[in-house]
Structure 1
């Protein structure tokens, strides 16, 4: 064995909580650096808000609708999966007034819009494959407590709720990195009696919820009917209920059946956060018809509530890390709400933790 390299750091064991873009970007960076990584994800799969919902009529990107590429490191990472990401023109994103009329002066965007294919979840899933193949991701595993390892007090152990009410303890971690929404991070640290350095900054972060409506109109695909409703494929709206609309079938790699994803405004979502899904769906369907002029009853309609969706007040730093404690935090909320923000946050935390 070559002993000449005296600067090589010992292999560390990392626990990463959350398998969205930030968590996977962090995990893959640490794994590529030769460290041992275990990811804990409370849901059944990766991707977080880069999610794709499957229906009998096709898929819906019911979380992040697209992403931009501004950072060279993000561009370099995307180049590792060249066949997954495609540009989406969306006929230039429109901006609508409350009546659904196009404000022509504000219709063009400087950033190119990109989507993953065949759904937005494909990118994070691809990047997570090395972790999946080595059984380094525990799905349906909700970490509810972090504490010092019983046998090795200098290390950490995690308590997790598993399927069917079971609980597990995972031990021996040098560092624990949280890639979850800021409010969830605050709760987990509080439940664990961990007073993280500069934790007061977390309380200033504000993240708004979002109700998302998904509708499908299979009859619009009949011969002789090219499209249903407006002749644009994506729009921002100042309607008090709706902030964004997108024709899913206009995105590359999707099916041809007419499908729309409608995302509610932050203010309306906050006001109606605890509404029953049926009530939120009815109100958003009404707003959708008002904006688009589509009065037909959809063959498929459902809603999803994102409790943490759009960052209103970010942390103002790429991440948080207490090297002394071995506790770190990352997420899009550190910088903003873009997919790219999540990537940069996870990457920077990993590089700082090395």
Structure 2
């Protein structure tokens, strides 16, 4: 009597669009099951919402964690992963932000860089279309169609971007993504070559500034005093289309007022607009169509925490392998 062919006995070629924590978590689990994984990301390097920005100054390059400021670990499986990051030196605790707060070391994107290093990731590649081939899927970029035919495709990108890719193939998935909107966030980065005079290391929940922190106080950081100032979702939404110069002036003035100081001239200053900063949430941990061999994962499936991205990626991998 012949035995049934099990999925884990079949080596699949799987494409993952998006190389943030969710996509990489999914890739880790699928590769551990023996499958061939190829990841594509429009960014120039690892990070996603855990990105780090480097800027040139008169005293050398200066780094800012201009995305997620810290993360927590509560699910036992994710706690285990974070402990591994800690042992390998790419994560550490940041008590000033709370007893549960962790950050990447020496920058927020360090854990993502470590995960991505073990995978086949093509950077600076924007996927604009998924094409159904006779034997599977092909991906189209701004430069044309990628030759490789994949058995499965996974979308691990923000909901707003996933919706457009999903619509021709899974309208229901696209509808869920379209209805799960992210909050925007204007982020101001400041560096000073002299003490700023600001006493408190963190400010939270102001009507204009939702979060501000002395970035240089995080473990593993060196260089001059740096600050990351993130506007509230409400302020960011109202000023979403303002120029970076106007946002820089407005947030700098409000931050100085909030901190109760006259800020010294900055060594460097820059404003970054995150259109998709704080994710929404759905009733699912991930979405998967066995008919089309098409999956969706991301923090927006579960909630706006870094841990949720990892949990969603793992959940999708389990659905595929099941």
Mark yes or no: TM-score above 0.5: yes
Which residue among 279, 282, 297 is the counterpart of 1:315?
A: 282
TM-score between both structures, scaled by the size of structure 1: 0.84
Which residue among 127, 131, 137 is the counterpart of 1:147?
A: 131
Q: Closer, same or farther in 2 for the Cα pair 1:281/1:32, shift >3 Å?
A: same
Aligned residue in 2 for 1:171 = 148
C-alpha deviation, 1:49, in angstroms: 1.2
5+ residue gaps, structure 1: 94-108, 221-227
TM-score between both structures, scaled by the size of structure 2: 0.92
User: Given that residues 28 and 128 in structure 1 are in contact (C-alpha distance below 8 angstroms), is that contact kept between their aligned partners in structure 2?
Assistant: no
C-alpha deviation, 1:196, in angstroms: 4.1
Which residue among 156, 172, 185 is the counterpart of 2:162?
A: 185
> Equivalents in 2 of 1:198, 1:129: separation in Å?
30
Aligned residue in 2 for 1:299 = 267
C-alpha deviation, 1:9, in angstroms: 2.7
Matched residue pairs, number? 312
Aligned residue in 1 for 2:254 = 287
5+ residue gaps, structure 2: none
SS at structure 2 position matched to 1:206: coil
Which residue among 262, 284, 297 is the counterpart of 2:229?
A: 262
Matched, 1:124 2:112: yes
Deviations 1:104-160 (A, max 9, x none): xxxxx5x511111000010010011111xxxx21111111010112xxx14011111
Aligned residue in 1 for 2:26 = 26
User: Given that residues 185 and 231 in structure 2 are in contact (C-alpha distance below 8 angstroms), is that contact kept between their aligned partners in structure 1?
Assistant: yes
Which residue among 63, 67, 72 is the counterpart of 2:71?
A: 67
User: Given that residues 159 and 170 in structure 1 are in contact (C-alpha distance below 8 angstroms), is that contact kept between their aligned partners in structure 2?
Assistant: no
Deviates more, 1:205-214 or 1:48-57: 48-57
Matches within 5 A, 1:22-171: 22-55=22-55, 56=57, 58-81=62-85, 82=87, 83-90=89-96, 93=97, 109=98, 111-131=99-119, 136-149=120-133, 153-161=134-142, 166-171=143-148
RMSD between aligned alpha carbons?
Answer: 1.9
SS at structure 2 position matched to 1:31: helix
SS at structure 2 position matched to 1:187: helix
Matches within 5 A, 1:158-237: 158-161=139-142, 166-190=143-167, 193-220=168-195, 228-237=196-205
